[in-house]
């Protein structure tokens, strides 16, 4: 397809004779000689005619871009949003990526990173639709008894916190971990020399044996306590070891406990919502009982003779139970035969045996057994 050359102002274009023009430049039949036919728009090349390698590469590139956008959806301006801040803590205290960020108990974001920065812990968190001031404080708080944490923000200050500047250690607080404290207590008690401790208490008791009665009694009690601890050393060690194992098990099963607690909350919420319906059901049941009681009282004169007569009928049926059983047993075959006789149409099906006398039957046609024909003057 040949496109016409552009016409520039002030430039003359010499036209060639019609005989020297190419076939494509000649006017189409039915068009005036001085007017060119309308140009057709270029047609797109079908996909099957394109280079399959190039199409595959473009498709893989598009899929990779879509996957990258889906993986970083939280960082996209329109979908994810939010502002990322950082804070310095003296220790992480069990805070992890994905933990909640709360302001006044309301979730406003989540922790996006916990990393070691020298002697400090750098915590990055993302907050959406919340104001963080330049004097705000951050604290790692305990969310559940199983050791789960969250980041609590107290928005203070007159200006907005610069995301490029960290919240310093002076405005952050780390909690005291009870689980780690119990583990440390277990290790400390395990390192105590119980025999030496008992010997020390006995020495103190001997030293204060000439003291007043009250002091001597107290020291004797300490000595008895030391002997008990010494004798129960193995049991105490097993108890502390079991407590440590229990703490670890609860920490590993915290998701199950959280699910159980959440399900219990849902159950209590559903019962609360159904409380009015249950109360109405109980009230209706109580009203029904009251109405039935009144009905019985009002109709007691009529119901009493009826119940007595029903009791007599029941007694008669019980006395004749064997006869009723026999009747029902015989009625079954009888009604079966009646059904066979009248069930084929508007007639009765029957079989009459031994109606023709013997002298009317052909020779050797008498049955040997079964229904025999009658003799002359009576039955065989």
Percentage of the chain beyond pLDDT 70 is: 70
Residue 183 pLDDT > 50: yes
Which residue has better confidence, 3 or 83?
83
Tokens of 262: 């959440």
Q: Where are the domains of the chain?
A: 82-176, 181-252
Q: Band of the pLDDT at 85, cuts 50, 70, 90? A: very high
Which residue has better confidence, 77 or 110?
110
| Closest by Cα among 146, 155, 164 to 109 | 155
Tokens of 293: 């009681």
Task: Give the separation between CA 77 and CA 87, rounded to whole angstroms.
Answer: 23
Residue 45 pLDDT > 80: no
If phi > 0 it is left, if psi is from -120 to 50 it is alpha, else beta; for residue 354 that is left
| Closest by Cα among 98, 102, 101, 127 to 114 | 98
pLDDT in tens, 341-378: 787 877 777 767 767 777 777 777 777 776 666 565 44
Tokens of 325: 């059983």
> Residue 35 has what pLDDT?
55
Stretch 180-193: mean pLDDT:
64
pLDDT in tens, 280-319: 888 899 889 888 888 888 787 777 888 888 888 888 888 8
Answer for the pair 220, 205: CB distance below 8 angstroms, yes or no: yes
Q: Could you give the C-alpha distances from 219 to 51, 227, 305, in angstroms and in order? A: 98, 12, 90
pTM assigned to the model:
0.34
């Amino acid at each position: 397809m040949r496109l016409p050359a552009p016409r520039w102002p002030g430039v003359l274009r010499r036209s060639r004779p019609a005989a020297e023009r190419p076939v494509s430049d000649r006017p189409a039949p039915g068009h005036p000689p001085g007017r060119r036919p309308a140009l057709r728009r270029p047609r797109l090349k079908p996909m099957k005619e394109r280079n399959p390698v190039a199409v595959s590469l473009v498709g893989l590139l598009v899929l990779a871009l879509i996957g990258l956008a889906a993986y970083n959806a939280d960082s996209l301006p329109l979908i994810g949003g939010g502002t990322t801040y950082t804070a310095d803590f003296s220790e992480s205290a069990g805070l992890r990526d994905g933990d909640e960020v709360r302001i006044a108990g309301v979730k406003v974001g989540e922790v996006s990173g916990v990393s070691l920065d020298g002697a400090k812990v750098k915590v990055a968190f993302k907050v959406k639709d919340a104001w963080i001031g330049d004097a705000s404080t951050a604290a790692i708080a305990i969310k559940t008894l199983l050791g789960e944490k969250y980041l609590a923000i107290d928005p203070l200050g007159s200006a907005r916190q610069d995301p490029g500047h960290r919240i310093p250690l002076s405005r952050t607080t780390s909690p005291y971990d009870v689980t780690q404290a119990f583990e440390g207590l277990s290790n400390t008690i395990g390192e105590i020399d119980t025999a030496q401790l008992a010997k020390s208490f006995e020495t103190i008791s001997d030293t204060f044996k000439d003291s007043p009665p009250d002091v001597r009694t107290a020291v004797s009690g300490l000595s008895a306590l030391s002997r008990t601890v010494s004798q129960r050393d193995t049991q105490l060690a097993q108890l502390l070891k079991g407590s440590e194992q229990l703490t670890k098990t609860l920490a590993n099963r915290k998701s199950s406990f959280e699910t159980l607690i959440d399900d219990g909350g849902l159950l209590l919420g559903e019962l609360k919502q159904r409380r009015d319906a249950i109360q109405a059901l109980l009230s209706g049941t109580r009203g029904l009982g009251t109405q039935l009681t009144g009905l019985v009282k009002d109709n007691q004169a009529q119901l009493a003779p009826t119940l007595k007569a029903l009791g007599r009928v029941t007694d008669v049926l019980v006395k004749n139970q064997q006869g009723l059983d026999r009747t029902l047993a015989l009625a079954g075959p009888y009604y079966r035969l009646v059904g066979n006789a009248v069930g084929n149409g508007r007639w009765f099906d029957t079989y009459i045996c031994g109606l023709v006398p013997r002298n009317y039957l052909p020779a050797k046609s008498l049955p040997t057994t079964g229904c025999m024909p009658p003799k002359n003057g009576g039955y065989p």
